Structure 1
Amino acid sequence: MTDQTVDLLARLVSIDSANSSMGGPGEADLAAEIASFGHSHGLVVATDEVLPDRSNVSLTLPGTTGTHAGRRLLFDLHLDTVPHIGIPNATVPRIDGDRMWGRGTCDTKGALAAALVAVGRLAREVAERDGEVMLLFTVDEEYLKRGVAHAVAGGLNATAAIVGEPTSLRPIVAHKGAVRFRIVTHGRAAHTSKPENGDNAIHQMVEVIDWLRERGEPALSMRGHPRLTPPTFTIGTISGGVGVNIVPDRCVIDIDRRTLPTEDPAAVLAEIDGWLADLMRARPGVKATREDPYISERGLDGPVDGSLVVAVQSAVAKVTGGSVDATPDGVPYGTDATHLWGLAGIPTVVIGPGDIAQAHTIDEWVDLNDVRQCTEVYYEVMRSFVQGEWS
């Protein structure tokens, strides 16, 4: 069982699935591998095109009893990885001791391998199933989450959901959302030999940045959540001007506003708009506009004592012998749970092998013991669900 998971993980890592919207080849080859696994294990395989040549893939192990109708345990796992440009041999898995290196080992092909091996075992060992298990492999999680958004918009439903992401096998019931948008300052171009004839948009943006930081950072630091750090406000990119001898007439910043799950994205944007309006009243020379957000996602804020959480805690305790803290926790990053819980209303727990600190790094790796144990945890959660052990 454990060697099967490691072997499968190595095969998945060797298939380059870097997000094509970020310069990679896309998820198609990995999706084909997943579909082939499903066919070879007698699962119901379906594909659903989200974008050209980019399809979600689902593998379903159906229920078998007369009382299973409507009961579905969903596992959400994303196919794509971030790019690996400039990283030599990023898709050549390398094992040294209990670690495997390679792009996607941690985020999140370890979870993919664990879920595949677990559902294959369930198909072999549990003939009577009061409910179905569906593995949904989504595209585009690393960019705009269009795979899970497409599935939810198409009516995806489930009794409960597991999202496979690196949590070191700790159950996650809360995480932040994100609102990402651009602010533009508008000036007037002129020759730099006479800058007084122009209106420097970069100078305006300096004022915008200072104003937003002075008001935003102290305000956000006072907001709390029992399992999350305060919300954050980060200016991630800035661009402006077309040449060193031209007064810039336009400057743009990209802002990443990490939200608490209790914050409404519309209210977040209204707060930004209010700060900008205050600035332009105080500094009439500043002309700034906010563009519509290109990402607007609520976080996850699930109960700590629901039947899904209890089942996951029980599985973690059984598999790890108590060596992993199974107390429900929160994390600052986001996952597909923003759509499953936030839009579809599906009770959701995020759990998987590996440490998020290793994700997206130049030397990404995963602890293979984590992957092995995750396989057993996923299996126990699946088994307890289809055998009707959940309250």
Structure 2
Amino acid sequence: MGRTDIDPAVTHEARVTALIEHEFRNLGCPFRRQPVAPGRDNIVATYEPPAPAPFHVMFEAHQDTVPVDGMTVEPFGARVEGGRMYGRGACDVKAGAAVMLTAFARLVRERPAGSARVTLAFTVDEEHSGLGVQALVDAGPRPDYAIVAEPTRLDIVNAHKGVVRWTLETAGTAVHSSRPDLGVNAVYRMARLLRGVEEYAQQLQGLPPDPLLGPRTIAVGRVGGGVSPNTVPDFCRADVDRRLLPGETPEGAGAALEAFLKAFPGVDFPFALVRNSAGCLPLGPVLSGDLVKRFGATIDAVTGGHEVRGVPFGTDAATIAAAGVPAVIFGPGDIAQAHTKDEWIDLSQLEPAAEILFRFACGK
């Protein structure tokens, strides 16, 4: 069990939300807080153009970051050196959030003719369960397009894998290790299941890959069981990570794995496959063709060129697209620097990123 005495105002996004609210108040733009969980609010602002909007675009970035354990730089020091800023979240995704806020603030102040209606949403809980973006989508309204902040090196990402995670559980009968014949070893049972998962992984590799994203994958990331060396363990658990391709669902993937393991040689005992997170849906390119073309032209006008590609990691864009909104991923930085022990952002990408977003909202 986790600790119950932790203040969510300190450990979650509350202080980030308060800072963003301060910026929105200074801008004088309409905004709202959207409670998602205790101490965890989405915050959403709106820019209304001076004339009827040609389209409505949402800029979305998540407020949360991963933990700071093991970092070799001051996690929240924001040290600038050699054209880089170092710190937890610098790359994923505070830089992307900052350029979206910069572009949005410029729209509010300048109110350019012909500009779009823009919703700027900062969501919670992206790194774990995706509760924030789901609440955002459920609340509506639906924009015509969405641009989701993640580090893409100022390229367009229009497809990514999804993820679902389970805990695989086996049970046994605990006895003293001097008489293992009297008990049932849950770890031995898990070992048989894990051989099955390994074979299933090879089977997935043999299926046709996605042309943008490659093959389906499955991996076991953690195994644990038992209470002491001299006790035959009566439980064992393994965490399993499955990456999904467009067209696959978490429910379908779980049913397929469970059926494979039940039929695997040597698995003649009960086990459980328990889904342990909301996960992330896969994102396909089907809806976003027009957005990719229009947004790509804006990028080219600022930087001179871009790529359109898929990535293996998941984002909030999939949940937005599942609601019928064409969505792409865009932002400064490289995913190779995200979640690292010395996370950093290339500061030279910030100004062009903000200019790209501003121009796109201006219809240029």
Q: Scaled by the length of structure 1, what TM-score is found?
A: 0.86
Is contact 1:23-1:83 (8 Å) kept?
no
Distance 1:209 1:290, change over 3 A: same
For these two proteins, the number of residue pairs brought into alignment is 358
- Counterpart position of 1:327: 307
| Alpha-carbon distance change, 201 to 81 in structure 1, aligned in 2, over 3 angstroms | same
2:217 partner letter: T
What amino acid maps onto 2:315 in structure 1?
T
Task: Output the amino acid matched with 2:215.
Answer: P
**Secondary structure, counterpart of 1:270 in structure 2:** helix
User: What is the letter of the counterpart of residue 332 of structure 1?
Assistant: P
1:272 aligns with 2:251: no
Match of 2:241 in 1: 256
- What letter matches 1:175 in structure 2? H
Secondary structure (helix, strand or coil) at the match of 1:117 reads helix
Deviation for aligned residue 1:231: 1.5
TM-aligned CA deviation for residue 42 of structure 1: 2.4
- Counting only pairs closer than 5 Å after superposition, residues 225-244 of structure 1 correspond to structure 2 as 225-244=210-229
**Post-superposition CA distance 1:364-387 (Å, at most 9, x none):** 001011122211111111111xxx
What is the letter of the counterpart of residue 330 of structure 1?
G
Residue 353 (1) aligns with residue 336 (2): no
Aligned to 1:6: none
Task: Quote the Cα distance in structure 1 between the aligned partners of 2:297 and 2:343.
Answer: 30
Question: For structure 1, which segment, 214-223 or 41-50, has the greater mean C-alpha deviation from structure 2 after superposition?
Answer: 214-223
Q: Give a deviation string over 1:175-224, Cα, whole Å, max 9, x none.
A: 01111111111111111010111111101111111112113323234331
Q: How does 1:128-143 map to 2 (within 5 A)?
A: 128-129=113-114, 131-143=116-128
Q: Which runs of 5+ in 2 are unaligned?
A: 1-5
How big is each residue's C-alpha offset from its partner over 1:316-368, in whole Å with a ceiling of 9 and x where there is no partner? 1111123xxx23210000000121012x1110010100000100011000101
Deviation at 1:104, TM superposition (A): 0.8
Tell me the equivalent position of 1:336.
316
Partner of 1:35: 21
What whole-Å deviation, never above 9, does each CA across 1:225-278 have from its counterpart, x for those lacking one? 121121110111211101111100110111110111121222211110111210
Distance 2:161 2:297 in 1: 25
**Is 1:380 aligned with 2:362?**
no
The 1:178/1:95 distance shift into structure 2, 3 A limit, reads: same
2:348 to 369, 373, 376: 369
Deviation at 1:22, TM superposition (A): 10
Offset of residue 308 of structure 1: 1.4
- Whether 2:168 is the aligned partner of 1:187: answer no
Counterpart of 1:84 in structure 2 is: 68
Letter in 1 for 2:43: V
Tell me the amino acid that sits aligned with residue 25 of structure 1.
T
Query: Deviation at 1:23?
Result: 11
Task: Determine if contact 1:73/1:133 at 8 Å carries over to the other structure.
Answer: yes
Matches within 5 A, 1:154-303: 154-279=139-264, 282-283=265-266, 285-303=268-286
Q: Percent identity among equivalent residues?
A: 36
Aligned 8 A contact 2:204 2:217 in 1: no
The amino acid that maps onto 1:186 is A
The alpha carbon displacement at 1:305 in A equals 6.7
Pairwise CA RMSD of aligned residues?
Answer: 2.1
Q: Greater shift after overlay, 153-162 or 363-372?
A: 153-162
Shift of 1:154: 2.3
> TM-score by structure 2 length?
0.93
Partner of residue 3, structure 1: none
